[in-house]
Amino acid sequence: MSQLTQALTEVEEKLRSLLEEVNQLIPYVKALEEENIKLKRECTLPEKETERVIANAEHIQGVAHDNLERLYHEGFHVCHLHFGQPLEGDCLFCMGFLRKD
Amino acid sequence: MKIFCSKDSLISGVNAVQRAVSVKNTLPVLSGILISAEKQSLRFAATDLELGIRCEIPAQIEEEGTIVVPAKLFAEVVRKLPDTMITIKEENLAITIYYYQSEITLRGYDPEEYPLLPDLIDPMSYTIPTLIFKNMIRQTIFSCAVEENRPVFNGTLMQIEGSNLRLVATDTHRLAYSISEVENPKNASFNGIIPAKTLAEIYRLLKDEDESIQISFNKTQVVFQFGLIYLVSRLIDGMFPNYKQVIPQTCETKINLSVKNFLEAVERASLLSHDKSGANIIRIKVESTQLKIDQTTELGKISEQIEVTTQGNDVMIAFNAKFLIDALKVIDTDQIIFELSGPYSPGVMRPLDNPNYLYLVLPVRIS
C-alpha cells in the first residue's frame, strides 16, 4: 500500500513540475505569437508599399504621357531630338515616341 | 610642269572634282583645283575641308610639277577648248594652256598652301558591288533633310553589320530604308552618318562599268574608292535617332496597287494642288477596290480613280504629293503594298515581294 502511495506522490510531483513547466512556457509562446504577428505585418507592408509606389508611378507616367501628348498637339516637339521646339507638320519621331510610350 | 593631254581627259578630271571645290570664300586657295603631274598621270584634287575628291587622268608628263588653278575659270576654259591635243605648262604660279597656235595663261595659287587630302591610317575596309550601292543611294538620299538646323538629318545613316548593309535617311516627316546582303569576309562593322552631299557625288561619279566600290573608314572619316577616283568625306557628328521605333508594326488598311498608275495619278493631281502657301497636298480616298484622288482648287478640278486590292478599313488621308512622287519614282517593282492606319498615322510603302526597302511618310492633317 505504501508503495502505491509513494508512486502516486511521485506522479503528483511530476505532474506539478510539468504544469510548472507549461506555465513557464505560456508567456514564451505568447511572446512568440506576438512577434510572429508583428513580423507578418512587417513582411506584408513592403509589398503593399511597392504596390502603392507602382500605382503611383503608373499614374504619374499616364499623366506625363497625357502632358506630352497635349504638348505635341499644341504644336511642340516631344522627341528628344527637338524637344520643346515648334513643330512644322507632324514628326515621325514624336509620333513613334508617343506610340511606344 | 609640262604635260600633254586631250580635252576630254581634262574635262573628265575637272568634272570629277569640281563639286568638292569650296563655295565659301574663307580660304582663297580652296576655290581652286590642285593639279599635280607625277610620273605618268595627271592628278586633280579639290576639297572644301568636308569633302575631298582626287581623280587621276591619263596624260603624257614631260615635266613634273604642281599648281592650284582657279576652279571656275579653269573649268570654263577647259570646256571651251578645241578637240585637239592640249599642252599645259606651269611657270611662276601661272599655267599656260596651248592649243593649235593659240594659248591662254591663268594665274594660279601656291600649291604649298593647299591642304592635303588625308589617307586614313589603319582603316577598316569593305567592298560593295557598284550597282547595289548606287541603287541604295538612289532609293534613300531624297529623304535627307535640306534645312541645316539638325545636322544628323543632312546625311544618311550607313550601317554595316555582318553581311547586312543598311542605308537610312529621314527628315522627320518621311523615312527611307534600304538593306542589302553583301559579302563581308573581313567582318567589318560600321555605323556612321554620311553627308547627303557626299553620297550625291558618289552617285554622280559612279559609272556602271565600275564593278565595285571600296569603302574605308575610321571614326571621323570615310573614303570611297572606285575607278580612278578617291573621295574622302567627314562623317556627320552626332547620334542618328532610333529609326526602328518609328516603323509601325501593324496597319488598319493594306492596299496593293500599281506603282505606275499611282505615280501618274499623283503627278496629275499634284499639278492642280499647288496653293498659295506652296503646299502640294492631295487627298486620297480608299474604298474597297478603288483608290480615288479628288482635287478641286482655284486652278480647276481633277478626279482620279485607280483599281486596287485592299484589306481592312476604308480610309481618307492627305499627303504632300512630292513626298509620294519622290518614293514612287525610285521603287523598282511594278506593285507596292501601301499600309495605312487612319488619317493621322504614317503610311508605309513596301515594294511587293521585296522586303529590302521601305518608305515611311507622314500624312498631312486636313480639316
Residue range B11-16: mean pLDDT, rounded: 93
Of the residues B78, B113, B148, the one at which a domain ends: B113
B367 domain-assigned: no
Of B152, B173, B248, the CB nearest to A89: B173
- Quick: pLDDT tens for B147-198: 888 899 999 999 999 999 999 999 999 999 999 998 888 888 899 999 999 9
B366 domain-assigned: no
Question: What are the C-alpha distances in Å from B12 to residues A49, A63, B17, B37, B206?
Answer: 76, 63, 9, 16, 13
Closest CA to B289 of B307, B266, B304: B307
- Those residues of chain B whose CB sits closer than 8 Å to some CB in chain A are 150, 152, 170, 172-175, 241, 245-248, 344-346, 360, 362-365
Of the residues B90, B113, B136, the one at which a domain ends: B113
B345 chain-A contacts, CB cut-off 8 A: 95
Question: Do B269 and B164 belong together in one domain?
Answer: no
- Residue B209 C-alpha from the chain's centroid: 19
> What residues are paired with A75 via a beta bridge?
none
A65 close to B (CB below 8 A):
no
What is the rounded CA–CA span in Å between residue B6 and residue B12? 10
Question: Do B91 and B189 belong together in one domain?
Answer: no
B23 domain-assigned: yes
Residue range B268-292: mean pLDDT, rounded: 85
B75 domain-assigned: yes
Question: Do B100 and B202 belong together in one domain?
Answer: no
Mean of pLDDT over chain B: 91
pLDDT at A28: 93
User: What percent of chain B lies above the pLDDT cut of 90?
Assistant: 71
Write the CATH number for B139: 3.10.150.10
Residue range B270-298: mean pLDDT, rounded: 84
A81 close to B (CB below 8 A):
yes
- Quick: pLDDT tens for A28-45: 999 999 999 988 887 777
Question: Do B213 and B260 belong together in one domain?
Answer: no
Residue range B350-361: mean pLDDT, rounded: 94
How far apart are the CA of A57 and the nearest CA of chain B, in angstroms? 23
- Quick: pLDDT tens for A41-76: 877 777 778 888 888 888 888 888 888 999 998 999
How confident is residue B276, by pLDDT bands cut at 50, 70 and 90? low
Q: Is B163 helix (H, G, I), strand (E, B) or coil?
A: coil
A101: pLDDT strictly greater than 60: no
Question: Do B88 and B151 belong together in one domain?
Answer: no
Question: Do B292 and B254 belong together in one domain?
Answer: yes
> What residues are paired with B106 via a beta bridge?
B95
Q: What is the DSSP string of B187-237?
A: ---EEEEEEHHHHHHHHHH--TT--EEEEEE-SSEEEEEETTEEEEEEPBP
How far apart are the CA of B50 and the nearest CA of chain A, in angstroms? 24
> Do the Cβ atoms of B33 and B17 come closer than 8 Å?
yes
Of the residues B216, B243, B270, the one at which a domain ends: B243
Closest CA to B66 of B13, B10, B114, B16: B114
Owning domain of residue B25: 2-113
Q: Report how many domains make up chain B.
A: 3
Of B175, B344, B364, the CB nearest to A92: B175
Question: Do B142 and B85 belong together in one domain?
Answer: no
At residue B296, what is the residue type?
Answer: T
Residue range B331-337: mean pLDDT, rounded: 94
Decide which of B274 and A7 is more confident: A7
In chain A, what are the domain boundaries?
Answer: 1-44, 47-100
Cell 478640278 sits on residue = B301
Question: Do B21 and B103 belong together in one domain?
Answer: yes
What is the rounded CA–CA span in Å between residue B134 and residue A22? 94
pTM: 0.82
Decide which of B80 and B353 is more confident: B80
Question: Do B143 and B234 belong together in one domain?
Answer: yes
